[in-house]
Amino acid sequence: MRLLALSDTYIPAAFMADGLAPLRDAGIDVHVRHWDHPSLIALQEDNLRIETGGPDAVRLPDDITRDADTFDIIVAQFAPVGGGLIRAATKLKLIGVLRGGSENVDVALATQRGVCVMNTPGRNARAVAECAMGMILGEIRNIARAHADMRSGKWHRSFPNSTAIPELYGKTVGLVGLGAVGRLMAGYLAAFGSRVVAYDPHFAGDSGAVEMVSLDQLLRQSDVVSIHARLTKDSRHMIAAGELALMKPTAVLVNTARSGLVDEQALADALRRRQIMGAAIDVFDEEPLSADHPFMHLDNVTITPHLAGSTIDSFRNSPRMMAEHIRNLLAGRPDVPIINGIRPHFFKD
């Protein structure tokens, strides 16, 4: 079997080759080709085009997709695996996505053609959870604002939340989504002594010390709301003007998941009117953020350039995790993250 691995600026060819190397022992011939970009920003721009326009919104260079008909497996992180590539790869049986989502893959066409699609759930969960904790602390304790002031020669100790700067101990933190990231967050917050509530209509199992509540209950009760849900057509703008109106005026909203989960303009308006105390945002409808975006001119929001999941560990581990999933598939194990219900015939028991 032949595997085509599409590396990128975040997961370079060396990381991809090293992580997938164990598959050679399973008789899989691994070929790594690099989807080149001049900068991380350029890659993020292509990724945003794909997320908003679908996997055929960006075309891969011919030197990457040459002899596609000779490969049984394609593995990619951000590189688009659209209709053209899937149709050209006539031997294709498996697409492995090195991320939790599959926005860069034409899953419907793959399913129609009997191609298995696997993702890598939790591959950067720890990176995102740790960043989300930093965003919470950065916003409620004014860390970024104080740093910026001091760098500009100002010794400020007065901020929009100066009358109500909280500690996390004893406060209620609401997690919108209790997947891999949300569960890590629950553990971190427990160490801080927070009360943790969560809303996740898809969660099944034991939530432990986390109290499962409705979204309205979560918004009304929480001192901090941290979003960790997946973006779907049903969850788009799940936090909009009506939901923001339910939050405490001293509450903070944190989003390190997907921008589409929050109505960006409604949030900017709520922050401008001091309807909520503050926000910390890592993801945006348009990236990079334009100079005239409202978030750029508000004094009660902490913003970062879509970096929550970007750690050296998550990028190194993603191909290793996929290699393990493929080995488990070869061994006929049932516990593999197939997202379209298709198990290739040559991977069956």
Model pLDDT for residues 12-38, shown as the tens digit of each residue: 999 999 999 999 999 999 999 999 999
Largest separation between any pair of C-alpha atoms in the chain: 67
pLDDT given at position 348: 47
**Both 180 and 191 in a single domain?**
yes
pLDDT of residue 201: 96
Query: CA distances (Å), 287 to each of 7, 47, 226, 322, in order?
Result: 22, 10, 21, 28
Same domain, 16 and 116: yes
> What is the four-CA torsion angle of 288, 289, 290, 291, rounded to 10 degrees?
-120
Q: What does the pLDDT read at residue 219?
A: 98
Domain ends where: 303, 323, 338? 303
Q: Is 306 an active-site residue?
A: yes
Same structural domain, 89 and 108: yes
Q: What is the mean pLDDT of residues 252-270?
A: 97
- Residue whose entry in the numeric block shows the structure tokens 């996997």: 55
Spatial CA neighbour of 239 closest among 271, 286, 205: 271
Strands 224-227 and 211-212: unpaired
Answer yes or no: do 208 and 292 share one domain.
Answer: yes
Contact 67, 90 (CB under 8 A): no
44 & 55 share domain: yes
47 or 74, which is more confident?
Answer: 74
Q: Residue 339's pLDDT is what?
A: 95
Residue 44's pLDDT band, with cuts at 50, 70 and 90, is confident
* Together in a domain, 269 and 291: yes
Same domain assignment for residues 119 and 131: no
Q: List the structure tokens of 339.
A: 């997202």
* Active-site residue, 45 included: no
Number of structural domains the chain divides into = 2
> 175 with 185: CB under 8 angstroms?
yes
- Kindly tell me if the per-residue pLDDT of 344 is higher than 90: no
Residue with tokens 């497996």: 73
| Annotated active-site residue in 99, 183, 258, 325 | 258
Looking at the fold, whether 110 and 153 belong to one and the same domain comes out as no
Please give the pLDDT value at position 324: 96
Specify the pLDDT at position 31: 98
Please determine, for residue 123, whether its predicted confidence score (pLDDT) is greater than 70. yes
pLDDT in tens, 287-337: 889 999 999 999 999 999 999 998 999 999 999 999 999 999 999 998 999
CATH number of the domain to which 157 belongs: 3.40.50.720
- pLDDT score, position 347: 54
Q: How many residues does the chain have?
A: 349
Model pLDDT for residues 124-153, shown as the tens digit of each residue: 999 999 999 999 999 999 999 999 999 999
Give CA separation, 99 vs 240, 300, 334, in Å.
Answer: 27, 32, 20
- Identify the active-site residue in 45, 130, 287, 324: 287
Domain of residue 107 covers 2-123+310-347
Is 51's pLDDT higher than 90?
A: no
User: Could you give the percent of the chain with pLDDT greater than 70?
Assistant: 99
- Looking at the fold, whether 278 and 133 belong to one and the same domain comes out as yes
- Computed on alpha carbons and rounded to an integer, the radius of gyration of the chain in Å comes to 22
My answer on whether 106 and 185 are in the same domain is no
Q: Are 174 and 279 part of one and the same domain?
A: yes
The torsion angles phi and psi of 335, rounded to 5 degrees, stand at -85, 65
**Cβ distance 77 to 8 under 8 Å?**
yes
Nearby residues of 42 by Cβ (< 8 Å), 6 or more positions away: none
At residue 346, the pLDDT reads: 61
Q: Are residues 222 and 179 in the same domain?
A: yes
* Range 34-50 burial, b when 16+ CB lie within 10 A, else e: bbebeeeeebbbbbbeb
Q: Catalytic: which of 33, 195, 228, 306?
A: 306
**d(Cα 102, Cα 310) in Å, to the nearest integer?**
18
Residue 349's pLDDT is 42
* Mean pLDDT score across all residues of the chain: 95
Residues 188 and 179: their CA atoms lie apart, in Å, by 14
Specify whether 258 is catalytic.
Answer: yes
Query: pTM for the full model?
Result: 0.84
Instruction: State pLDDT tens for residues 184-235.
Output: 999 999 999 999 999 999 999 899 999 999 999 999 999 999 999 999 899 9
- Both tokens of residue 92? 């294709």
